[in-house]
Chains A and B, each alone.
Chain A
């Protein structure tokens, strides 16, 4: 059980009320305002009368409080144990150098308690100093909206240099990588943080006319799925993070429509191939051709 009522909305709301009341007595309007800001919509029905009616003896009828000091909310042991567990994740260093020791508690869990069996072997080097520096710069650039000059090596080994305006960061548990998505000169797109060789703030004036946004093109593929060998459950799990529709056609035949980012089309092709004859792509014709092409090449492979 990770929840402590000590940190529920009610406690936080009353703490906010007391923080204000310690400085100056509260009138009904101010009191209501604080409750509305911190608690749920209907919470005022409980909190306000409990405080003004002195059921909770924390406010006097004039809106002042007998409490002398601003209330503090120390961490519970459970919270400290949770934090200690989270701080053991090497990725925490991407965000801060100041990791509290919390020497008085044991972590709630350790990285050794988890085994991610389908994680790829070439994850990002989260503890590498250059990686950390690049990550922090990208994070600062997207928060403070300044452009970067980035050199990165491509999957095929060539180095590209570009002016880039980061929009957001993505991470993949399976790839064990971060990537940044944004706009840039000539072309926008996606840069894997692990592929960055150098990254510096771009100090020259940005010429807006040259900035190209990443074109987030969405593709859709429709396939028929034969629910044998547990294929439906496996497919729903496999495509869990894609937008999709599933329609039952016959007893064990389903029509599945999946939307995907066109940049990831090859990935989608091989994901579909992994289901073997349980899945048949229906449309679009261009996608059917991608599958057919691979099958044709397979046919000639063993000869």
Chain B
């Protein structure tokens, strides 16, 4: 499309978009792996007085589903075109990510390596080893 051009198929494109929105986190509709769809899920742990963490998942998720596994654990999962777009948001839960899995294993490895790098940045490396399973 170019500015000032009338799009003949506007309604058809809009319908297409509506079908795609449940799988879009940002604006990307293509994965880095070439797969049509990528799966991502992670669980967060929280204390009894931190119910707002579950609410954060609910209100901030742009697609996907949130389940309460027990009083202290919630899981987010989604099938999206580009799982890389979720990484910054997932990092906002650092300190309570108990488990994380991407169908794109290279992305998963990078996510975990990034966390290790963050430990190193602040002199926290060593000790407990890989904290995210």
Listed in ascending order, the chain A residues whose CB lies under 8 Å from chain B are 115, 117-118, 120-122, 155-156, 234, 270-271, 273-277, 280, 288, 291-303
Q: Is B2 in contact with chain A by the CB < 8 A criterion?
A: no
User: B49 contacts which chain A residues (CB < 8 A)?
Assistant: 156
* Binary contact track B1-42/A, C-beta < 8 Å → 1, others 0: 000000000000000010001001111000000000000000
Judge whether B95 and A301 touch: CB under 8 Å: yes
Judge whether A276 and B91 touch: CB under 8 Å: yes
Judge whether A292 and B95 touch: CB under 8 Å: no
Q: Chain B's nearest CB lies how many Å from the CB of A228? A: 11
Q: Chain A's nearest CB lies how many Å from the CB of B88? A: 4
Q: Chain A's nearest CB lies how many Å from the CB of B54? A: 12
**CB within 8 Å for A303 and B91 given contacts A121-B59, A295-B122, A298-B115:** no
Nearest chain A residue, comparing its CB with the CB of B21: A115
28 contacts between A and B (CB under 8 A): A115-B17, A117-B26, A117-B62, A118-B62, A121-B61, A274-B88, A274-B92, A276-B88, A276-B91, A276-B114, A276-B115, A276-B117, A277-B118, A280-B122, A288-B122, A293-B95, A295-B119, A297-B95, A299-B119, A299-B127, A299-B131, A301-B45, A301-B95, A301-B97, A301-B131, A301-B132, A302-B99, A303-B128
User: A271 contacts which chain B residues (CB < 8 A)?
Assistant: 92
A46 to B100 CA separation, bound complex (whole angstroms): 69
Q: Is B108 in contact with chain A by the CB < 8 A criterion?
A: no
Judge whether A298 and B114 touch: CB under 8 Å: no
Judge whether A122 and B124 touch: CB under 8 Å: no
Q: Which of B17, B55, B92, B114 has the most CB of A within 10 A?
A: B92
User: B21 contacts which chain A residues (CB < 8 A)?
Assistant: 115
Judge whether B114 and A277 touch: CB under 8 Å: yes
**CB within 8 Å for A275 and B119 given contacts A295-B94, A298-B97, A301-B98:** no
User: B91 contacts which chain A residues (CB < 8 A)?
Assistant: 273-276
**CB within 8 Å for A155 and B131 given contacts A280-B121, A295-B95:** no
User: B24 contacts which chain A residues (CB < 8 A)?
Assistant: 117
Q: Chain B's nearest CB lies how many Å from the CB of A255? A: 15
Judge whether A122 and B122 touch: CB under 8 Å: no
A234 to B55 CA separation, bound complex (whole angstroms): 26
A155 to B59 CA separation, bound complex (whole angstroms): 13
Judge whether B92 and A298 touch: CB under 8 Å: no
Judge whether B52 and A298 touch: CB under 8 Å: no
Q: Chain A's nearest CB lies how many Å from the CB of B97? A: 6
Nearest chain B residue, comparing its CB with the CB of A300: B128
Judge whether A302 and B98 touch: CB under 8 Å: yes
Judge whether A302 and B131 touch: CB under 8 Å: yes
A172 to B94 CA separation, bound complex (whole angstroms): 25
Q: Chain B's nearest CB lies how many Å from the CB of A97? A: 30
Nearest chain B residue, comparing its CB with the CB of A303: B128
Q: Chain A's nearest CB lies how many Å from the CB of B44? A: 9
Contact of B95 among A117, A120, A294 (CB under 8 A): A294
Q: Chain B's nearest CB lies how many Å from the CB of A210? A: 31
Judge whether A296 and B124 touch: CB under 8 Å: yes
User: B130 contacts which chain A residues (CB < 8 A)?
Assistant: 302
Judge whether A298 and B122 touch: CB under 8 Å: no
Q: Chain A's nearest CB lies how many Å from the CB of B76? A: 13
**CB within 8 Å for A274 and B89 given contacts A280-B121, A295-B118:** yes
Nearest chain A residue, comparing its CB with the CB of B100: A302
Q: Which of B24, B58, B87, B118 has the most CB of A within 10 A?
A: B118
User: B131 contacts which chain A residues (CB < 8 A)?
Assistant: 298-303
Judge whether B52 and A117 touch: CB under 8 Å: no
